[in-house]
Amino acid sequence: MKRSTPWFFALIAVFIGSFFLTGCDLDDPRPLSSAQQEMKQNEETQQRQMKAVPAPQLKTSLERKNLVRRLERINTEEMVSYIYLLDYGKVISYYTIRGKVSSLNTYLTAMERLQKLDSGSTNYGPTYVTLEAPDLDGTYGKNVDGIFFFTTEGAYMEWNGKYLWSDQPHKVTQQPELVQMVGEGGTK
């Protein structure tokens, strides 16, 4: 008896899986719904367009290079940068900061967890639900939208408005509405 190759079984599995996942029934005499007809027409049009105007095969990606360059630049622990806090288009305050600006909604651990239901088994295995996970301090909930950063003097700052952040200082043509400098001995 000749042994079948594994790719043959994989091909059969893909065909059967797509058959069941798409809900195809080869003997179904019902006509396609208008939505199904439109989807079919769109897919056929897309296939023709892909053949008529194929996507170019790029040798490089400037987008990926920019992402790498950005990550390498801003992921420098002792980097000094500058932030200008804006409100209604006016500079409210500015700071020299150490490190990078971070979102108040980033966490060290996942904020959701899977919980297995005891009574929720199906023919395909157990049933799980997604539940909110506690933060490291044992609390639940979402932080306000905003950012946080540390000044070069070590002060922790949060801001929930618009801002401009740069690794180079910028000339500000307007006088800031509020300038707060934190140095030795507290606020000046």
Please give the pLDDT value at position 181: 60
Q: Are 84 and 170 a contacting pair, CB within 8 Å?
A: yes
pLDDT the model gives residue 16: 55
pTM comes to 0.58
The Cα 184–Cα 178 span in angstroms is 19
Strand partners, 85: 93, 163
Segment 129-133 shows an average pLDDT of 89
* Higher per-residue confidence, 119 vs 60: 60
Single-letter amino acid, residue 93: S
At CB < 8 A and 24+ separation, what contacts does 41-44 make?
none
What pLDDT does residue 17 have?
A: 54
Q: pLDDT of 41-69, one tens digit each? A: 999 999 999 999 999 999 999 999 999 99
